[in-house]
Amino acid sequence: MAEFFKMPQASPTMESGTLNAWRKAEGDALASQDVVAEVETDKAAMDVEVFEAGFLLKILAQAGEDVPAGRPIAIIGKSKDEDISALLAEFAAMKGGAVPAAAQAAPAAAQAAPAAAPVVVAEQPPKATANPGVVPPAAPAPATVSTPGGYVGPTWRGKPLHHGLEEIGGSFTPAKTRRAVRSSPLARKIAEDLGVPLDRVAGSGPNGRVLRADVEAAAQAPAPQAAQAAAPARANELVRNSKMRKVIASRLKESYLDAPTFFLTANFDCDALVAFRTTLNQQASAKGVKVSFNDLTLLAVARALAEVPECNAAWGDESITRFGSVDLGVAVALEDGLITPIIRGADKLSLLQLAAQTRSLVERARARKLQPEEYTGATFSVSNLGMMGIEHFTAILNPPAAGILAVGALQQEPVVKDGALTVGWRMRVTMTCDHRVIDGALGARFLAALRQLIERPLLLVV
């Protein structure tokens, strides 16, 4: 019996999906686990499979169309000649009472004129200057206060208050402001006669005082052709919010408003970490392996969470969940948002295993090839902007986790060692804590465990 094939909900945050492409055509036979379409979710592009053999009888959504999760995108049946008129009528009711052209046969219309091509709205539309169909919102007109019957507004002792505004033609417009200018009385008189604004004259006298010669020179100078030299103004550009950006906005707003957060910042001595990485990469270069400072930091965070499991937790109305596995989320920047692939059981991995997994996850995240289980369910997260030169920042919690660590730049700074001023490698980290789960003392205990691992990196390989 024919039935609807619906847009799958690939993740808890997915509200809709965009059909990137159909891999099968109408009338094609389908085998179990055949890929019929590619769908872009809020986080990644994924292949959609069928679980039973049959035939793709009708395509109800075209490539490029955004479809809510759970809505039909096709009709699949057991044989090629099944009657699907009832399903088409049901689908028409869902769409508002009319069967769309893509979902019904219309031979008469097809003979009269070819069907119009579906309109595909790109996630990043072209600039407004190149797309006359996109009309940016008009800029608001400047506000004026009309006074046809006299002044209407605040007064002081019976007199109107203009608040730095001058009355022009029955309305109020902002008065032009002029800076105070040091000038001689003769220079002011000549400037008035010649119509030269004093605040545009460079003074050559003591303390920048404008003299007569300065005014005369300014009067003889040719007027600047500002209108001709100015570059044409850029038009407003409307950039449609992608599904990823909408989900980020929704979830982080919820996190920001719901969780009572506070921040703990620590400054780590990284001299030993820099020397350790240099030695490690010299020995591992023959194997084609390279370990980054981010890899070392991630492993240190995972091991610190294993030592202080109370921070590897999430809030619930009835109870706090302390996770048995350290599933570490790693924030990865994409062109239109952010995704957090997860290193499962990160505290149990060796340094080289963690480095390899991190590299693979980041590459697939940037290619939008992650599966939903690879970016949902982090128990703690790390966001590292140090490689972009950011010294210090704070991060918003990634629900349901109760903590996230913001890692700043590793850089050389003047430091005091043994009473003497010298130069050392330092790195600042800031932990965002959900106070319902992690209080100040607990957060400080986690950062102390992390400090020991960062400042004594040999502990990471024992």
pLDDT tens digits along 230-246: 567 888 888 888 777 88
Share of the chain above pLDDT 70, in %: 77
Give the CATH number, domain containing residue 57: 2.40.50.100
pLDDT given for residue 78 in this prediction: 85
Range of the domain at 373: 243-461
Query: How high does pLDDT run on average in the chain?
Result: 79
Q: Letter for the amino acid at 188?
A: R
- Pick the most confident of 57-61, 247-251, 319-323: 319-323
Residue 211 lies in a domain: no
Q: Give the chain's domain count.
A: 2
Residue 343 lies in a domain: yes
Residue 416 lies in a domain: yes
Domain termination site, one of 112, 139, 165: 112
Residues serving a catalytic function are 435
Vertex 22: Cα angle to 84 and 76 (nearest 5): 25
Residue 213 lies in a domain: no
Give the CATH number, domain containing residue 334: 3.30.559.10
What is the DSSP-derived secondary structure letter of residue 317?
Answer: S
What is the DSSP-derived secondary structure letter of residue 133?
Answer: T
Q: How confident is the model over 158-180, as a mean pLDDT? A: 44
pLDDT given for residue 217 in this prediction: 84
Residue 78 lies in a domain: yes
Q: What is the pLDDT confidence band of residue 284, given thresholds at 50, 70 and 90?
A: low
Enter the pTM of the model: 0.58
Domain termination site, one of 112, 143, 165: 112
Alpha helices in 176-211 (DSSP H): 185-194
Which of 249-257's residues contact partners 24+ apart within 8 Å by CB, and which partners?
Answer: 251/13, 251/399, 252/396, 254/399, 255/396, 255/397, 255/398, 255/399, 256/396, 256/397
Measured distance CA(386)–CA(429) in Å, rounded: 10
Residue 389 lies in a domain: yes
Q: Is the pLDDT of residue 147 over 50?
A: no
Residue 126 lies in a domain: no
Please choose, from the candidates 112, 366, 359, 128, the residue with its C-alpha nearest in 3D space to the C-alpha of residue 239.
Answer: 128
Cross-strand partners of 174: 165
Domain termination site, one of 63, 83, 112: 112
